[in-house]
Amino acid sequence: MRHFPLFLDLQGRRVLVIGTGEIAHRKAEPLARAGALVEMADLFDPAQLAGCALAVGADAPIEELLALSKAAQAAGIPVNVVDRPALCSFIMPAIVDRDPITIAVSSGGTAPVLARLLRAKIEALIPPAYGRLAAMADSFKDEIRRRLPEMALRRRVLERLLGGRAADLVFAGREDEARTEFSRAIAEGEPERGMVYLVGAGPGAADLLTLRAQRLLGEADVIVHDRLVTPEVLDMARRDAERIYVGKARANHCMKQEDINALLVRLGQAGRKVVRLKGGDPFVFGRGGEEAEALAEAGVAVEVVPGVTAALACAAQAGIPLTHRDAARSVTFVTGHTKEGRLDIDFAPLVRSKTTLAVYMGIVSLPFLRDGLLAHGMAVDTPAALIERGGTAAQRELRGSLDELVQKAPAWSTGGPALVLIGDVVGRGVAVRAGKSAYAR
């Protein structure tokens, strides 16, 4: 370890910054944010160091920077000269500010760009809500010490609160409930209650997960997942998390929806931290609403974490704008599942509105879809696209009119999840990624 990390209290203390250019102002800004009284000057005068807690040299002539470094070190004042490690007695780190949590990253002056890149990764992993959680823990500090004088017990209770449901409630913006959870745990030592997260896994690519979804997968005790969740996404979960498969395919359900609801309630009531992982978005044809209702009725805390839904992922990768000023002013999501052998869709307003249609699970019902739309006046040559395994590296596309799709789809489909896009926007598709511009027809 080349440098020993310390956090310095600069509140109300003088800090000297030599240089008045862009770099100097960048260095002065976080110092001022930490409460320092920052004084900036073009040139160095040793008298300026009187009463200073810290000195920084930035965009000033080299002779001024040398003089600053020598005088500050002789006076025992920590000094940093930008991009000149030999003149420094301390290194200015890359900072992740989650007040009151502060994380500093340093490369010892050898690779500051790398330190900034690492800071960006840490910022992505640690949301701002951690600052609110730390502030809440601080507000209970005196009560915890009074009620739990034994240090080992106090540590166990704090670990449970800061890594469990109370923290989850803070992250969800439900701070009044989190305060209640803190008070209950401190006063009564109750076993922690569980919480269920309805998490959208997106189209399948792990890098299309939200940051919140990624964090929760790394914290969950149990992962309850669908058929459409890919191994790539499941690999983001904690290694020792229990995994329960409840996937459903057309006319082939390994578990009925009522049983899935009961399972989630049972796991939540047992105090488990549960991620119910659903392909796409949990509230778009994913029965997430039914699961949320069942959990709420049973008194189990639930949070919904949205995901990238299939229509967005498929259209983006295919280069098809779902809306366009000259083609479609709205987009409508519909399900292609049949009910009693027919599509329960009111076709007339869909044709009149000139909306883009995104039909989920529509490959089997394509003939009904074509017949209904054409019967209500849709032009026979309206562009359409059938997109299979959308949003993944295996995405494939079949384009043409609806009638062409009906004729070619049975032989073309490989059985993967598919979405149908219909409307003039399909004809405006552009190649947005190398290797994705050749459309199957």
Taking every pair of Cα atoms in the chain, the longest distance, rounded to a whole number of angstroms, is 89
Please tell me the chain's helix, strand, coil percentages from 3-state DSSP, rounded to the nearest 5: 40, 20, 40
248 included as an active-site residue: yes
- Note whether 63 and 38 are within 8 A (CB): no
Of 260, 259, 168, 184, give the one whose Cα is nearest residue 220.
168
The CA–CA distances, whole Å, from 33 to 49, 87, 364 equal 21, 25, 60
Alpha carbons within 13 angstroms on the beta-carbon side of residue 368 total: 18
Contacts of 180 (CB under 8 A, 6+ apart): none
Q: Is the link from the previous residue into 100 a cis peptide, with omega within 30 of 0?
A: yes
How far is residue 256 CA from its own chain's centroid? 30
The alpha carbon dihedral of 347, 348, 351, 353 has a sign of negative
The CA–CA distances, whole Å, from 307 to 52, 98, 213 equal 51, 25, 8
Write down the catalytic residue from 168, 226, 273, 278.
226
Of 433, 436, 393, give the one whose Cα is nearest residue 416.
393
The SS3 assignment for 157 reads helix
Write down the catalytic residue from 248, 354, 408, 436.
248
Burial class (CB in 10 A: 0-12, 13-18, 19+), 21: exposed
121 included as an active-site residue: no
Buried b (16+ CB within 10 A) or exposed e, 79-114: bbbbeeeebbebbbbbbbebeeeeeebbbebeebee
Q: For residue 264, what is the enclosing H or E element?
A: helix 257-269
Which residue numbers are catalytic? Answer: 226, 248
